[in-house]
Chains A and B, each alone.
Chain A
Amino acid sequence: ETGVTQSPTHLIKTRGQQVTLRCSSQSGHNTVSWYQQALGQGPQFIFQYYREEENGRGNFPPRFSGLQFPNYSSELNVNALELDDSALYLCASSLSGASGPGGDEQFFGPGTRLTVL
């Protein structure tokens, strides 16, 4: 069984640029959540995708957007990068039942370290 994978591992961008981070969910999982973990802090929820639709969003501006594909992999896109976007971006996948996500165990990938200069 393949776990959650993320690419790239590390990324350096400059202010104003755009970035795309990728996540492959664990086999059989249909829900993907993205989190931002700034240095010395706990992860913060960005948004979740369930059955290819955004299914909940945290307190992040619209320049943070995402996609989920039919194979349940996902992308996180960030436009107009700011210095404060420097963080570890974590992807988590889970298997949600017919009634939707709720308390399902989330399995985390190793993250993508984004540095904005």
Chain B
Amino acid sequence: AQSVTQPDIHITVSEGASLELRCNYSYGATPYLFWYVQSPGQGLQLLLKYFSGDTLVQGIKGFEAEFKRSQSSFNLRKPSVHWSDAAEYFCAVAPRGGYNKLIFGAGTRLAVHP
């Protein structure tokens, strides 16, 4: 079955510290890969996406993610976290071809200490 796993429900980091949020997927073939962020009362905002090519993807707000086919992973990283990064982060996959159905993980809630 197609699924996305985000092993960490909550993560707390200090402002200025580095961040890595984990994402593993189970899919028949390499899907499209996405990271979204959701702030309270807001919709989902796309941080970055991987379709093909370079496995290190740069996104908005200083985020990057690395696709590792051998590990079926797409981990999100940021070298220095800002207090405004506190939010819920969702990893998602979508099938190549066909309709654009996103399958989301359960999310990781990030708290940032000053």
Spell out A's residues near B (CB within 8 Å). Answer: 4, 31, 33, 35, 40-45, 48, 50, 55-56, 58, 90, 92, 94, 96, 100-111
Closest to B100 in A: A101
Chain B contacts of A50 at CB under 8 A?
A: 99
Do A41 and B43 touch across chains, with their CB atoms under 8 A apart?
no
Interface secondary structure of B, over-half rule: loop
Count of chain B residues with a beta carbon within 8 Å of a chain A beta carbon: 27
Chain A contacts of B49 at CB under 8 A?
A: 105
Do A94 and B100 touch across chains, with their CB atoms under 8 A apart?
yes
A112 to B96, CA, bound (A): 29
B57 within 8 A of A: no
Chain B contacts of A44 at CB under 8 A?
A: 104
Do B44 and A43 touch across chains, with their CB atoms under 8 A apart?
yes
Partner of B43, one of A56, A90, A100, A103: A90
Do B104 and A108 touch across chains, with their CB atoms under 8 A apart?
no
A41 to B57, CA, bound (A): 26
8 residue pairs of the A-B complex, CB under 8 angstroms, read A31-B100, A33-B101, A42-B90, A42-B92, A42-B106, A56-B99, A58-B101, A109-B43
Chain A contacts of B46 at CB under 8 A?
A: 105-107
Chain B contacts of A42 at CB under 8 A?
A: 4, 90, 92, 104-107
Chain B contacts of A101 at CB under 8 A?
A: 98-100
Do A41 and B100 touch across chains, with their CB atoms under 8 A apart?
no
- Contact A56 to B106, CB < 8 A, known contacts A102-B96, A103-B51, A110-B43: no
Chain A contacts of B95 at CB under 8 A?
A: 102
Partner of B100, one of A43, A48, A108: A48
